Amino acid sequence: MSNFESENQDSSIYIDVGNSSIKIGVFQNDKWKVNSTKEVEEAIVLINKYEQPVSRIFLCSVRKELSEAFSKQVGDRTLKQVMISDIPARNLDYDTPETLGIDRYLACSGAYSIANKGVVVIDAGSACTIDYMDANGVFQGGVIMPGLKSILSIFKEAAPELPEIKVGIPANFPGKSTKESLQWGQVGFFVDGIISVINAYDEKVEDYNLYLTGGDAPVLYELLGHIGEVHPNLVLTGLREMEYTS
């Protein structure tokens, strides 16, 4: 049975095309039902299995070639690709909006719709972004750093003789084995970088809610000692907000 089967009459489907996966979501009974794939063809199959007729597809994408593939395969459905040019200038305090990934804005917008106050959003995926939207719903920019998987893959080509490690931070410092030393240098480096950015926001922003999203959000939540709230579908939430507020 598809995750999309329900009695909900909402015929909109929301698609988040990221660097490493495609998330297809419907919002039912105040919660998300989401499937994930890596292929456009499989995404279309999943959409076709949805028991309610799908007339509207809202899509955001960081990959141009996949966006184009969707536009060729959606049939007679209405496809709306949300782009940064759709965001009113008053909602962006960013010097180069033409280079801003729409997923960064939508994740913050989704979090803002939940908190109704200033938010910092950590989107932990292939890249890790840590962005701020103020209490007026204005995107203020943030930080882009390598994601956890990217950091863990650094030595696979550069130093292939080094051992693979588990994601975790050793109890003791300094590391007393090569694996512990790598854990400090990779996982600890990643976590310390994020904590440093959070501390910088704490100094700059008086009050905000912290949210974690993206594929590595649950792991990061554990590594950070359970600070913030994990919301895996903030980009989809922001995409849905665009439908109902535009």
Residues with catalytic function: 103
State the Cα–Cα distance between residues 114 and 209, nearest whole angstrom: 10
Nearest to 232 by CA among 17, 34, 12: 34
3-class SS string, 131-176: EEECCCCCEEEEEEEECHHHHHCHHHHHCCCCCCCCCCCCCCCCCC
**Under 8 Å between Cβ of 13 and 6:** no
- SS3 at position 5: coil
End-to-end alpha carbon distance in the chain:
34
The DSSP secondary-structure symbol of 84 reads: G
**Under 8 Å between Cβ of 179 and 155:** no
Q: Give the number of C-alpha atoms closer than 13 A to the C-alpha of residue 163, restricted to the C-beta side.
A: 10
Strands (E), 1-89: 12-17, 22-28, 31-37, 56-61, 78-81
Phi–psi pair at 92, nearest 5 degrees: -130, 120
